Amino acid sequence: MSDDARPGVSSAAGGMQEPRRGHLRVFLGMAAGVGKTFRMLMEGHAEQESGHDVVIGLLETHGRADTATLAEGLPMVPRRRMVYRGTELEEMDLPGILRRAPEICLIDELAHTNAPGLEHAKRYEDVEDVLNAGIDVLSTLNVQHLDSLNDRIAELTGIRVRETIPDDVLGRADEIVMIDLTPEALLDRLRAGKVYPPERIGAALNNFFRVENLAALREVALRQVAEEVGHKRLTTEYVGSRGESLAAEAPQAVGERLLALVEPYPGAQRLVRRAWRSAQRLSADLDLLWVRPPSGHLSDDEERSLAALRQLASVLGVRLLVEESDNVPGAVAEVAQRQGTTYILMGGSRTARGLSRLRTPLPQRLMELLPGVDVRIVADRARRSESSERIGGIEDHQ
Amino acid sequence: MSAVIIVLIAIAALAVGVAAGYWLPPHGHRPSAERPAPVRRILLPFTGPEISRRAFEAAMRLAKAENATIMPAFLARVPRNLPLDSPLPAQCSLGMPLLEAIEQRATAQGVQVDARIARGRTYRDALRRLLEQESFDRIIVSATNNRNAGLSADDLEWLLERVPAEVMILRPSPTDTRRIYADVAGHF
């Protein structure tokens, strides 16, 4: 295919027919050394053997002999050299790839930050240009480079990764291939010198490459892929059944936002824990709401419980909203509408006394005021299992 | 005249009914006045997804004997590269099922529970911050032979020296292999 027949990104603006966007396949792993680049190269060879024009746009072997050997036989677009502040740097040659216009291009390390002065600040932006030129791309990524997971992984491992990419880069990938390896197997590879050169092995083992870190990263990576698969399946179903325009709306259509109604008393913590757990499973945001009586004076116990609730909310990363009102259903409805709540969780109401027995219970009032919003009353599981010897999933294990 | 009397009697009966409904306890509930308010607070700090059964049972025995509130507290460590007020969802995923499990078991035995989560740069720092915010009458911790788990010997020494509460340290015992852990994933 000639260069003219495979126009670059500017061709559409020039009035030519818009090229087919390339197909992006990302090899995702939990950490360096799991075999992402190796797998990418194997796929490159397979494509080449089936008659496709495959080139390596950028390869980082990190000194691994096996990787370098596997790259043999695949044509490579040479890196371009540039000087930045007196230092000579080598970077991927984006114009060279676009000129070469292969069918498939292998570009390692999607999250890489380019040297200043190039077309783009980040390599994933270079990849966008390559895809827009109709070239299929195979690339690699470690899960800790995803923006949304960066904090979580820093919390799990104590190490913050500086080079990150927006999640939607991975979301736009046509295929995500999870390269999985058990932590023990990866550590064996590391000790055998297959990941880093000997002088770096000790430091790696003492810092990042610990079983607990790798196990946590592996879980995050597997979850990420599962979520992407679920999301893509949903989008595909919408496209197939109801037209292209609905595809973009699909995530919003199923997106949940939870609101847990709390009061400053010890039992509220259980409700918050359960609501948070539900929010985690639904990948939803969670808000806590306390409707405070306007003239309500808090006892010492209530002050303490309120402080504990604030602390819990802060540790969990959820917001505690406090609204002053003597109309609880009205205030809840107003907040729910404002926040876009789809799901309300509340504890069992206190037993009504006197004339308040004549009032409509709060859950019914909320269902009347908020049609389309689910209302869930969180049960006290301890009471349910009072007669059981094995209580609520607790076991004594020897 | 008799009609007026009947109406007055009906109104009086209604008033008595409403008053009784307000003041008398509902069926099946003990009036709160019969239940003396708890006066003591027993802190049971832990750092992982399980705790020693001895420590838990000791806390329960004392809580029952003293009509105390048991306060299980999950201590979370904030990595140095994160702000101290950072959310810690991953650690909470580990600790919260055990909080739930303790709460269920304690509540089932009639012991009041008021759980906490505290964070700090170290477990000791998290505990120190919790103790600065609230007072406790007793703290129950179990010592461990594992240097890398939970509160260290230095932490326990610090507790004994600095904390204005009774501190009960349960020494590790070869027979203390029983742990309480939470298997409540998906159900809390």
DSSP track, B26-45: PTT---GGGSPPP--EEEEE
The verdict on a CB contact (< 8 Å) between B88 and A155 is yes
Residue B15 confidence (pLDDT) = 81
Asked if the C-beta of A269 comes within 8 angstroms of chain B's C-beta atoms, the answer is: yes
Type and span of the H or E element at A206? helix A198-206
Among A52-61, A158-167, A236-245, B127-136, which range has the highest average pLDDT? A52-61
User: Which of the residue ranges A172-176, B148-152, B171-175 has the most confident prediction, judged by mean pLDDT?
Assistant: A172-176
On average, the pLDDT of chain B sits at: 78
Average pLDDT over residues A252-276: 82
- Range 107-146 of A in CB contact (< 8 A) with B: none
- Closest partner residue to B90 (CB to CB) among A155, A270, A304 is A155
Closest residue on chain A to B18 (Cα)? A354
- pLDDT given at position A141: 93
| Per-residue pLDDT, A385 | 46
pLDDT digits (tens, 9 = 90+) for A51-74: 999 999 999 988 888 889 999 999
> In this model, does residue A240 exceed pLDDT 50?
no
CB B119 within 8 A of CB B127: no
Report the amino acid identity of residue A209.
F
* A26: its two tokens: 């990302």
> From CA B91, how far away is CA A131, in angstroms rounded?
39
Looking at residue B39, its pLDDT comes to: 57
Residue with tokens 């049609």: A371
Q: What is the ipTM of this complex?
A: 0.70
10 Å Cβ neighbour count for A26?
24
Q: Do A307 and B21 touch (CB under 8 A)?
A: no
Q: Is the CB of residue B26 less than 8 Å away from at least one CB of chain A? A: yes
Contact A155 B86 (CB under 8 A): yes
Tokens standing for residue B96: 């919260």
**What CATH number matches the domain at A20-251, 3.40.50.300, 3.40.50.2300, 3.30.1330.200, 2.102.10.10?**
3.40.50.300
Length of chain A: 398
Q: Which of A317, A354, A396 sits opposite B21 (nearest CB)?
A: A354
Q: Report the b/e string of A156-167 with b at 16+ CB within 10 A.
A: bbbebbeebbee
Average pLDDT for A191-212: 79
Report residue B172's pLDDT band, with 50, 70 and 90 as the boundaries: low
CB-based burial label for B10 (10 Å; 0-12, 13-18, 19+) = exposed
Sheet of strand B50-52: strand arrangement: A394-397, B179-182, B50-52
* B73 DSSP assignment: E
pLDDT in the model for residue A101: 94
The whole-number average pLDDT for the span B153-178 is: 78
| Whole-angstrom distance, CA of residue A94 vs CA of residue A394 | 58
- Segment A357-384 shows an average pLDDT of 79
Asked whether A87 and A120 are in contact (CB, 8 A), the reply is no
| Distance in angstroms (rounded) separating the CA atoms of residues A270 and A281 | 17
User: Is the separation of the CB atoms in A321 and A288 below 8 Å?
Assistant: yes
Give the mutation candidate from A144, A224, A277 for the B interface (greatest B CB count, under 10 A).
A277
B69/B1: higher pLDDT: B69
C-alpha distances in angstroms, A138 versus A42, A108, A124, A163, A262?
11, 8, 12, 19, 49
Q: Which site among B27, B82, B116, B180 would you substitute to test the A interface, given the most A Cβ atoms closer than 10 Å to its Cβ?
A: B116
* CB-CB under 8 Å, B90 with A152: yes
Cα separation, A156 vs B45, whole angstroms: 21
- Domain locations along chain A: 20-251, 255-382
Give Cβ neighbours of residue A32 (< 8 Å, ≥ 6 apart). Answer: A62, A142, A195, A196
Q: What is the DSSP letter of B79?
A: P
Using a pLDDT cut of 70, give the percent of chain A over it.
80
pLDDT-derived band at B6, boundaries 50, 70, 90: confident
> Tell me: the pLDDT tens digits for A80-133?
988 887 888 889 999 999 999 999 999 999 999 998 888 899 999 999 999 999
In angstroms, the separation between the Cα of residue A62 and the nearest Cα of chain B is 27
Q: Could you read off the pLDDT of B31-86 as tens digits, one per residue? A: 444 444 545 899 999 887 778 788 888 889 999 998 899 999 999 988 877 788 88
The count of CB pairs under 8 A between chains A and B is 132
Parallel/antiparallel/unpaired status of strands A87-91 and A80-84: antiparallel
Answer whether A267's CB lies under 8 Å from A347's CB.
Answer: yes
Flag if A392 and B92 touch (Cβ within 8 Å).
no
Q: Are domains A20-251 and A255-382 of this chain identical in fold?
A: yes
Confidence grade of residue A242 (pLDDT, cut at 50, 70, 90): very low
For chain B, percent of residues with pLDDT exceeding 90: 18
Span A223-237, mean pLDDT? 65
Q: Give the tokens for residue B164.
A: 């204005």
- The reported pLDDT for the residue numbered B175 is 60
Using the Cβ of A63 and the Cβ atoms of chain B, whether some distance falls under 8 Å is answered with no
Say what the pLDDT of residue A398 is.
36
DSSP assignment, residue A26? E
Mean pLDDT across the stretch A327-342? Answer: 91
Is B87 within 8 Å of A315 when comparing Cβ atoms?
Answer: yes
Interchain proximity A394–B182, CB inside 8 Å: yes
Query: Mutation test of the interface with chain A: which of B57, B96, B136, choosing the one with the most A Cβ atoms within 10 A?
Result: B96
> Which one of B93, B115, B178 has the shortest CB-CB distance to A269?
B115
Alpha carbon distance A296, A325 (integer Å): 10
Give the Cα separation of A79 and A96 in Å (integer). 9
Q: Sheet of A136-142: strands edge to edge?
A: A54-58, A104-107, A136-142, A24-29, A175-179
B83 and chain A: CB distance < 8 Å anywhere? no
Give the whole-angstrom CA distance, residue B84 versus residue B78. Answer: 6
Give CA–CA dist B103/B74, Å, rounded.
12
Q: What is the mean pLDDT of residues A27-31?
A: 89
Distance from CA of B184 to the nearest CA of A (A): 5
Q: How far apart are CA B21 and CA B33, in angstroms?
A: 17
CA dihedral A169, A170, A171, A174 (to 10 degrees): 110
Q: What tokens appear for A42 in the block?
A: 């194997």
CA distance A55 to A100: 9
pLDDT at B179: 58
Give CATH for domain A255-382: 3.40.50.620
Averaged pLDDT for residues A253-267? 82
- Position A42 scores a pLDDT of 94
Q: Does B53 touch chain A (CB under 8 A)?
A: yes
Structure confidence by residue, pLDDT tens digits, A169-200 = 888 888 889 899 888 888 888 888 888 888 88
Q: Which residues of A56-82 are buried (b: 16+ CB within 10 A; e: fewer)?
A: bbbbeebebeebeebbeebeebeeeee
The yes-or-no verdict on residue A332 having pLDDT over 80 is yes
Q: What is the pLDDT, as a whole number, of residue A14?
A: 44
B-facing residues of A in 158-187 (CB < 8 A) are: 158-160
Residues facing A259 on adjacent strands: A287, A344
Spatial contact of A58 and A108, defined as CB atoms under 8 Å apart:
yes
Q: Find, in chain B, the residue whose alpha carbon is nearest to that of A281.
A: B186
Residues A315, B86: Cα–Cα separation, whole Å:
7
Longest dimension (CA), chain B: 89
Please indicate if any CB of chain A lies within 8 Å of the CB of B91. yes
A246, pLDDT greater than 70:
no
Q: Domains of chain B (ranges plus CATH)?
A: 37-181 (3.40.50.620)
Share of chain A above pLDDT 90, in %: 32
d(CA B84, CA A77) in angstroms, rounded, equals: 47
CB contact under 8 A, A393 and B93: no
- Residue A18: its pLDDT value, please? 60
